[in-house]
Amino acid sequence: MNNFSLLILPGDGIGPEVMKQVVRVIDWFEQRREILFDVEEDLVGGCAYDKYGTPLSDLTMKKAKSVDAVLLGAVGGPTYEKLDFDKQPERGLLRLRKEMDLYANLRPAQCFDALADFSSLKKDIVSGLDIMIVRELTSGIYFGEPRGIEGQGENRVGINTTRYTTDEIRRVARSAFELARKRNNMLCSMEKANVMESGVLWREEVKYVHENEYPDVKLSHMYADAGAMQLVRWPKQFDVIVTDNLFGDILSDCAAMLTGSLGMLPSASIGSKMESGLPKALYEPVHGSAPDIAGLGEANPCACILSFAMALRYSFSKRDEATLLEKAVQNVLAEGYRTKDLMQASDGKLVSTFEMGDAIINNLEKMR
């Protein structure tokens, strides 16, 4: 298969600028590798609200469900913060995740050699770090009922519910075990089984899947708070981590920062297989919309480009091409190309978003 459809949703803030570089990379693969992409672009987040009065229109939702994969830039910005909850840019993203049922969110935290000095931790603790957090993405406290704000005046109550079914836990556990098998065969499951029943069930079901389907994978369990502590103490003890939606949100930010460069980290959100045999999938950088630098041409396009590399690997089974693209990014970093976020005094050559895209494409050309 060499022909795929893509829906590109650049979104807000720096989303459109970094996505432009991804489009150039996509063109390169079309021309040099003869993988053809049928690309359509649309709006999500604040820009969708400005145009349609909603952060994700029904039509865009329908398109997202019909394509082979969705690429998303970033959503959000200060002008939208005062909107009603259901109109906020983030709701567009959450709707995509929920309605596409993208239950497994893969967040690699990889420390690039050229950037090991950037971490707030000592270099030997992070250099060579390569862990994968698998965050459950369509359930838990993000979506559980009841939810809301009840009552009046000084007697109001804010309510959210953590709720997990057996099936929801087992399917994300399977995704994590599968990944572990392709890596170093170790999985650590994190919850708060000491205080939460949903955590007790989580631990029981992960154990069940382990015993019955993946006994060869080395499984451990940790309370999520201890996990956070271990992540900053000695992150290299981990290979794959699987955890619920809220803990995964927090732990993955923590893991991302270990690498010292949020601008480098991609993510994939994967659901069940479609009729085509490809999984439902959405790829997005871990960084946000960074409104303070939007439009300045300073943003780092690497995370978004690496998200496309994840699409090549996990959606289109183009592993060699994914590796090639990842290699190109590593090479340009090693050669000293630095967007502003990666600059440290007297280290490397400051480049713009576009120039970083150039450097990566030139490197692809060199390796061709």
Give the footprint of Mg ion on this chain (CB under 5 A): 249
To Mg ion, the closest distance from the beta carbon of 249 in angstroms equals 4
Q: Which is nearer to ligand IPM, 25 or 286 (CB)?
A: 286
Q: Which is nearer to ligand IPM, 90 or 178 (CB)?
A: 90
Q: What is the rounded distance in angstroms from the CA atom of residue 25 to the CA atom of residue 326?
A: 12
Q: Which is nearer to ligand IPM, 140 or 301 (CB)?
A: 140
167 catalytic per annotation = no
Site string for ligand IPM, 94-113 (x = CB under 6 A): x-------------------
Q: Which is nearer to Mg ion, 200 or 262 (CB)?
A: 262
Token code pair at residue 13 = 């803030």
Region near ligand IPM per CB under 6 A, out of 24-32, 48-56, 89-97, 236-244: 89-97
> Which H or E run includes 232?
helix 224-233
The residue of the chain with the least Cβ separation from ligand IPM equals 90
Query: CA torsion sign, 231 to 301 to 21 to 101?
Result: positive
Q: Which is nearer to ligand IPM, 164 or 214 (CB)?
A: 164
**Tokens 């659901």, located at residue:** 271
Amino acid sitting at position 249: D
Region near ligand IPM per CB under 6 A, out of 14-22, 87-95, 146-154, 359-367: 87-95
To Mg ion, the closest distance from the beta carbon of 114 in angstroms equals 26
Residue 90 interacts with, from ligand IPM, Mg ion, none (CB under 5-8 Å by kind): ligand IPM
Token code pair at residue 5 = 């459809």
Q: What is the rounded distance in angstroms from the CA atom of residue 294 to the CA atom of residue 75?
A: 12
> Which H or E run includes 52?
helix 46-52
216 catalytic per annotation = no
Catalytic-role residue among 49, 80, 103, 142: 142
Region near ligand IPM per CB under 6 A, out of 46-54, 86-94, 235-243, 352-360: 86-94
**DSSP states of 315-339:** TT--HHHHHHHHHHHHHHHHTTEE-
To ligand IPM, the closest distance from the beta carbon of 270 in angstroms equals 14
To ligand IPM, the closest distance from the beta carbon of 74 in angstroms equals 9
Q: Which is nearer to Mg ion, 135 or 338 (CB)?
A: 135
Backbone angles phi, psi at 350, to 5 degrees: -70, 125
142 catalytic per annotation = yes
Region near ligand IPM per CB under 6 A, out of 22-30, 43-51, 90-98, 144-152: 90-98
Q: What is the rounded distance in angstroms from the CA atom of residue 358 to the CA atom of residue 16?
A: 17
Binding of residue 90 to ligand IPM (CB under 6 A) = yes
To ligand IPM, the closest distance from the beta carbon of 346 in angstroms equals 34
Instruction: Give 139-145's long-range contacts (Cβ < 8 A, gap of 24+).
Output: 139/103, 139/163, 139/164, 139/165, 139/168, 139/244, 139/245, 140/164, 140/198, 140/244, 140/245, 140/246, 141/244, 141/245, 141/246, 142/94, 142/245, 142/246, 143/98, 143/245
Contact 74, 284 (CB under 8 A): yes
Catalytic-role residue among 58, 225, 292, 320: 225
Contacts with ligand IPM, residue ranges (CB under 6 A): 90, 93-94, 249
Residues serving a catalytic function are 142, 192, 225, 249, 253
